[in-house]
Amino acid sequence: MGTTEIVVVGGGISGLSFAYFLLKKNPQLNIKIIEAEKRAGGKIITEKASGFLCEGGVNGFLSNKPSTLNLASQLSLEPLKGSEDSKIRYILIDGKLTRVPDNPLKFFLSPLLSFSGKIRMLREYFTPPVKEDLDETVESFVSRRVGREFYEKLIDAMSTGIYAGDPTKMSMKSCFPKVYWLEKKYGGLIKGLIALKKEKKDAKAQPSAVLMSFSGGMGELIGSLENYLSSKILSEKKVLSIEKKGNHFTVNLNDGSSIEAEKVILACPAHESAEILKELDKEISGILKTIPYPPLSVVAFGFRKGQIGFGTSLYGFLIPNREKRKILGTLFDSSIFPNRAPEGYVLLRSMIGGRRAPELAMLPDEKLIDTALSELKPLLNIKGEPEFIKIFRWEKAIPQYELGHEEKLNRIQQALSKFPGLYLTGNAYKGVSVNDCIENSLKLAEQI
């Protein structure tokens, strides 16, 4: 049996885009992508039902990284811009939905923070930086620099919105590296932002980041990659283990077969990679097991527009932990992008669970629906029942970059040096967004 040059384990956005970039550079390569599920795409899943277009995971990507837009363009996909409504965002403060202003002056005049909270925020300019290169929690970093109130009301909710995480455990350096390095490079966040604004002025004007998707949802990107790579994908096959034999790897599958490969790229979740590598290298496997993946459920509701007294011209809202609610936030998907709901209807998606309330994500369907509705109805002044409901459950949702994450990555990198030709990629390491996954896949493809 001939040797497959490259085996990619996992057909999510990381594995698919990696294989695509590699084949674009060298169409002659013998590549196999092994996907355990029937469909590729991992946590990017778009489903149509009763005229609603529902995203089971991420609903878009930002236009500020060229790799995703370039990939879409190469696949002849037409990206879709988020509406003007997608700029209107709310946060729940003291039980009331409060709009987040979109410029510094409006922010300062808004009721989001108390007067003392605003003064503390301005004092950030004079707060001296910490000299040493600390791994600090998001809670500690933000409270130290901008004040406790700013952290509790805004950053806590934002961290939950991106990672469904717990900012008292999340590593600032790994989760928000750009903000972390502002302090290191410029001595503070306000100083850094002023300097960056000046640098941008001197350079060519950078377009601001706009939320994008596709008319058929994010699944369109997966569908195009699947079509391009269809002859390379082995679906419903699970990798059990990898052995190193001389210069080659033997990849053992659950159907009893095995594939010889020169290079193996594990583009599956860290906990799956841990299982695959446990016999090859206990150290790497052990570290990968320590990256937490809390459960998260997404509950989608279809209402008639008239049922929502609060109004529907908004991106959505997030909820800080201090509010002690049972949902993390809600997105108005039909207000962000067209064709997400039938005419006259609204599609909402609420997130439940995450690192702080994992038990809520796994409630039975009826309880999950009741929990979401009991929060949404008073907040949005909703009359009557939804006409459409769809639940997406993720038992292991978003990987958490908690304190010590960077050190874990360094130890993994060191241990991997014993196995030339073995690589790890995906959202468990350096960025959870679609943009990060595609950018990291591109870098890896160039490296290989």
The reported pLDDT for the residue numbered 207 is 59
Grade residue 260 by pLDDT with cuts at 50, 70 and 90.
Answer: very high
Q: Give dist(CA 41, CA 398) in Å, integer.
A: 15
- The domain covering 113-202 belongs, at the CATH homologous superfamily level, to protoporphyrinogen ix oxidase, domain 3 (1.10.3110.10)
Grade residue 2 by pLDDT with cuts at 50, 70 and 90.
Answer: low
Sign of CA dihedral 360, 361, 363, 366: positive
The CATH class given to the 4-42+65-78+220-292+401-447 domain equals: alpha beta
Strands 96-100 and 329-332 turn out to be: unpaired
The reported pLDDT for the residue numbered 1 is 43
Grade residue 194 by pLDDT with cuts at 50, 70 and 90.
Answer: confident
Helix, strand, coil percent values for the chain (each to nearest 5): 40, 25, 35
Round the average pLDDT of the chain to a whole number and report it.
Answer: 93
Condensed to tens digits (0 to 9), the pLDDT of residues 362-393 reads 999 999 999 999 999 999 999 999 999 999 99
Domain boundaries, the chain: 4-42+65-78+220-292+401-447, 113-202, 294-394
Beta partners for residue 332, in sequence order: 348
The reported pLDDT for the residue numbered 107 is 84
The reported pLDDT for the residue numbered 245 is 87
Q: Give dist(CA 328, CA 305) in Å, integer.
A: 23
The CATH class given to the 294-394 domain equals: alpha beta
Condensed to tens digits (0 to 9), the pLDDT of residues 285-320 reads 999 999 999 999 999 999 999 999 999 999 999 999
The reported pLDDT for the residue numbered 196 is 80
Percent of the chain with pLDDT over 70: 97
From the list 437, 435, 439, the residue with the least C-alpha distance to 427 is 437
Residues 263-285, mean pLDDT to the nearest whole number: 97
The reported pLDDT for the residue numbered 133 is 82
Residues 407-412, mean pLDDT to the nearest whole number: 97
Residues 42-56, mean pLDDT to the nearest whole number: 96
- Computed over its alpha carbons, how large is the radius of gyration of the chain? 23
From the list 377, 303, 314, 369, the residue with the least C-alpha distance to 342 is 303
The reported pLDDT for the residue numbered 200 is 73
The reported pLDDT for the residue numbered 404 is 96
Q: Give dist(CA 319, CA 78) in Å, integer.
A: 33
**pLDDT over 50 at 354, yes or no:** yes
Q: Tokens 């130290």 label which residue?
A: 144
